[in-house]
Amino acid sequence: MKSFPVRTHQDVRNALLGRREIALLDVREEDPHAQCHPLFAANLPLSKLELDAWTKLPRRSVPIVLLDNGEGFAQRAATKLDALGYTDIALLEGGLAGWIDAGGEVFRDVNVPSKAFGEFVEAERHTPSLTAEAVNALLSGGEDVVVLDARRFDEYQTMNIPGSISVPGAELALRARALAPNPATRVIVNCAGRTRSIIGTQSLVNAG
């Protein structure tokens, strides 16, 4: 079995703080990743590696650091990435336990950096919001409302608010005026949780 270099907690931390390019990848499944992981570790499960690697890591020379929690997934992922043509692959020394033992912080949930950013935006900009009950009342009452779902289209297809329109977040500012041409129409942005709703709503507010 091919061996790969090892990078320490301090080396990875310095790269992150120095804003140097690094893809810190947790190759466990989403649930264990969500329970405990370094802040900027992206989840790319070993089971989906060959399906998603070229989309999520389009440049083969990107510096990659892989971590697991002692299951051996990181070594297997490194072997697969090597076979796919990636040229800068390393393992995190000690995996998740090594990160913790070295004093590294860990976080719970998924997409933690973007969620923290969303909460920061709402607190700073006082982004307007409505409760689910209020939105339901507006829709039930036939008010002049348009609901724009800012999630990916595949998420929208899985479940959505009846009558809502799929408008992935990056398209909101482009399409909102066409979907709500009357300035009096109340535009409501939703997602599955909060973050994309906050960022989508604030983007429309900023766009006028």
The Cβ of residue 2 has, within 10 Å, a number of other Cβ atoms equal to 9
Report the pLDDT value the prediction gives residue 112, as an integer from 0 to 100: 64
Gap between the Cα atoms of 71 and 75, Å rounded: 9
Residue 14 has pLDDT above 80, yes or no: yes
Domains of the chain as residue ranges with CATH: 6-110 (3.40.250.10), 117-206 (3.40.250.10)
Residue 85 has pLDDT above 90, yes or no: yes
User: pLDDT digits over 109-122, tens only?
Assistant: 667 677 777 788 88
Report the pLDDT value the prediction gives residue 117, as an integer from 0 to 100: 78
Instruction: Tell me the average pLDDT of the chain.
Output: 93
For 85-123, the DSSP string reads T---EEEETTHHHHHHHTT---B-SSSHHHHHHHHHHHH
Q: Across the chain, where does the E strand assignment appear?
A: 6-7, 23-26, 42-43, 64-67, 89-92, 145-149, 165-166, 186-190
Q: What is the mean pLDDT of residues 2-10?
A: 95
- Exposure string of 164-198, with b = 16+ CB inside 10 Å and e = fewer, is bebbbbeebeeebeeebeeeeeebbbbbeeebbbb
Report the pLDDT value the prediction gives residue 195, as an integer from 0 to 100: 87
By the 8 A CB rule, do 41 and 25 touch? yes
The pLDDT > 70 percentage for the chain reads: 98
pTM above 0.95, yes or no: no
φ, ψ of residue 197 to 5 degrees: the values are -65, -45
User: pLDDT digits over 24-56, tens only?
Assistant: 999 999 999 989 999 899 999 999 999 999 999
Report the pLDDT value the prediction gives residue 180, as an integer from 0 to 100: 93
The pLDDT > 90 percentage for the chain reads: 86
Gap between the Cα atoms of 94 and 67, Å rounded: 8
Q: What is the mean pLDDT of residues 166-195?
A: 93
Question: Considering Cα of 68, then 111, then 40, then 172, what sign does the dihedral take?
Answer: positive
User: pLDDT digits over 143-166, tens only?
Assistant: 999 999 999 999 999 999 999 999
Gap between the Cα atoms of 50 and 62, Å rounded: 16
